[in-house]
Structure 1
Amino acid sequence: MTDVPDFIVRNQTVRFTTDGLARLNDVWAAAGAPKNRLPADWMRLPTTNRLVNALLEKSTGKSHNWTDSEVRSVHYVKHGIGTFADIRLALAYAEYLDAKLALEVREVFLRYKAGDPLIADEVLSRATAEANEWVARRAMGRVVRNQFTNELHTRGVSQGREYAICTNVTYERVLGGPAKALKAAKRLPAKANLRDNLNVRELAFIAAAEALSVERMEEEDSHGFVQCHAATNASATVIGRAIAADRLARKKAK
């Protein structure tokens, strides 16, 4: 439903849309699902209407004549799914349901906005093994990738085409082809994020090559695209050959 991280309050997951709107039905469930206090009931209250209007005025700079898209940016109902609303409305709804709940929601949301890594760990402790693996892949790939691209940037490699060439030489030496070919082999759309679709082993191999590339660039004091590309190629080749040699040895041993 969403690419925006959810958070958990009172063992209830509060889900978000990709636009960052909270599902009020989840907040209602966290409050114990009180009768006659459903999101739809709250949305009909005059006080809620004034709050929505104030939020729309602040976000659009207009006092009336809001378009459907402007209203939907603040709240909307999807029949059979739930009521979705701006986090400020969600906090107001939580306070309407239960003052203590409102404080808990506010605290969790502030931790989320501050990037508190413990929130992610708390969510993952309740998640499936598959979800934990997916997050682990994302985190590992992101950390090493950032180190690699930061090193390229520091050493004068231009973002864009030169970054892509350095990345592709790693893919070619370690996984057997450039990003375009790997996406095609995995039947991914051209604009798909390849790293999000690599398995744990593939990511580990790429991470090892990029980490070694950073180390080599530091030791050789590489400068500019040509030298950094050469260092990346050399490091990726070492990792690729080591993987191939191990696979061949295991095959012969059978």
Structure 2
Amino acid sequence: MTETTQTQPQITDSHCHLDFPDFEGQVDAVIARAANAGVTRMVTICTKLRNEPAVRAIAEAHAPIFYAAGTHPMSVAEEPMATVEELVSLAQHPKFVGIGETGLDYHYSAESASVQQDSLRLHIEACRQTGLPLIIHARAADDDMARILTEEYRNGAYSCVLHCFSSGPELAKTALELGFYLSMSGIAAFPKSKELREIFAAAPIDRILVETDSPYLAPPPHRGKRNEPAFSALTARVGAEVFGLDYADFAARTQSNFDRLFTKVAAYGATA
């Protein structure tokens, strides 16, 4: 570990996709660049359960990488419906740390809204049974998302992060009232995202995570290029400005938040 890595604030990229073709043959270099930026842990997300073995292999091969799996709402219509039993079984792996991403996407996939909702509820039940956090994708579906998250919470508590949060203030309010977390992606750093930054600024600092959603949504000055975990540090610096904190304090707060939500990662680090 370099002196730079040891002394600079550490953060976690809570959501990336390292199994995507954009990173083929480059994971070692991506991890090294992340470490140089202070990004010492990553959660890589499997969006189709048939790809779980490949995503698991990435986590097994690299100490800083953990993983989660679920069926992305945009894939639900084409993929076999996940079962609670399948997700609970996958969750037995020591580096499997979250359920999802799942959720609702009516922007691209409104025609499959009903099956998306069924899939979301199955993933929530798997969260209850495993104690792992739910990882939510929400786009153009704020009302249904707020309703389902609330209905299901009444049926039994669970933990959750709305990843790459870019929805409206009402969904943010509902999520925060349920005790859930909001994750800042590169979108929050875009110059035109003033309203989104205001939503984050109104949230409690102890409910904020940072992520890249790489290879997508690179923050400035890399916007339009391939995103990667190292760039979550750039989003975190914008987050620090949003909350009026110095970068070291914001980084420490988001690390604590991540450990509180992703308890399996924190426990793994303590025993590794």
More strand by share: 2
TM over 0.5: no
The normalised TM-score by structure 2 is 0.22
TM-score (norm 1): 0.23
Relative to its length, the structure with more helix (as a share) is: 1
Q: Which has the larger radius of gyration?
A: 1
> Which of the pair has the greater relative contact order for Cα pairs under 8 Å at 6+ separation?
2
